[in-house]
Structure formats: C-alpha cells, structure tokens
Chain A
C-alpha cells in the first residue's frame, strides 16, 4: 500500500457526460500528479500540482481540468467524455514535487465510457 488513495475504483458513464476523480496524497506529501494509462498511449503524464498551485502540464486535453485543495487532496475533472477517454487514471504524490523525487502511485480509477 503506497498511502495514496483514489476514489472511485471504477466508473462507468456515457459519452458527453462529466466525471470527477478524487485523490488523497500520502501524509506529508505536498505534490500531486495525474497520469492516464491507456492501451494505445501507455502511461502519460497529465498534470502536476504543488501545494495548491499548478506546477507542470503534460498532454492534458482542454476538456480535462484539475485542482488541488487546501487539504492537499486533488480532483481531476473530465468533461464531454468520449469513448477514447476510457482508461486507467492514476494519481501519484511526492514530498515537494521537485526533481528526482520518488513518486508514489495510487491504485487508480478505471473509467469506462460507453
């Protein structure tokens, strides 16, 4: 158990809908990362937050957004969902979000868009 928690474990929804994925980092970690894992794209970095502020952005679609709250939990919002958004979404956390820090991954949320 990495200490990173994610809810829900599974999510089934329809195209065009909006969902929210939630992540709680390890105790003491200030930085949160979101990754998407799909069969055709592999594991891809989406976005990083540090202490409530956006720190780095990857190939995140405009339909996707995230935020980190004062209690350090983070939410990833996915809107206007398409079939191709079906994937595993992982949250990871690290202490300061700086170079060479170990990132600890949560168990993931499996999203299925029908």
Chain B
C-alpha cells in the first residue's frame, strides 16, 4: 500500500521567516495530496491541496509544490506568524472512484517564535 514519509518532525522558526515541510510518497498511482493543520485539541483542518495534474498551487502565504517524477511534495509557508504554530500533516490518496482513503505522513510540529 501507499507509504508517506514527512520531514522534519519538528521545525522552529522565527516570526516572519519561511517554513518548508517535505513529504515523499511511494505509490505512483497517488493523485491527490492534501495538507492539514491540527491545533491542540482539534481535528485536522484542510489548508491546501494539490492534484497530480498541477505542479504548484498558492493560497496567500501558503504554497504547495508537487514533483510527480520524484514522488515528493512540499508545503511552503511564508511570513510565518505565531498562529501558524500547530502540527501539519501531509497526505496522499489514489483517489479512485470507488474510494478515497488518505494515507498520512507522521506530522511536523511547527513552532513560530515571536
């Protein structure tokens, strides 16, 4: 089955700096890659996603890039703010008509220091 590796497991940055989180996946059939943010005591919240027909997607301070050949995708957060502090998860899905299970990476704890 699919395997998703995520790095780093913890990341500490100064407010205003950029943060980059990287994920690799194993199944070349995967075609949907969402990123979730999880704050303490809450469920994962989708922040951005990308589909395999696109190489890059941006939403304000957040961007995701996808390299299908290398089977890796990355999350970029610019101008980080203290409220960006949370655990971030990448995920991959083969996204069949018959089902849409997500395989998650191990998570990255991002700490933004004011």
Contact = CB atoms under 8 A, between A and B. Distances in A.
Interface residues of B, number: 28
Contact of B49 (A2, A98, A102, A108): A102
Contact of A43 (B32, B89, B95, B97): B89
Contacts of A52: none
A55 B51 CA distance: 22
A7 to B, nearest CB: 13
Interface in B40-63: 42-46, 49, 51
Contact of A42 (B36, B49, B93, B107): B107
Interface stretch (B12-20, B69-77, B78-86, B98-106): B98-106
Instruction: List the 10 closest A-B pairs by CB distance, nearest first.
Output: A99-B95, A56-B99, A105-B43, A43-B104, A100-B32, A45-B101, A100-B95, A105-B44, A107-B43, A55-B99
Interface of B: 31-32, 34, 36, 42-46, 49, 51, 89, 91, 93-107
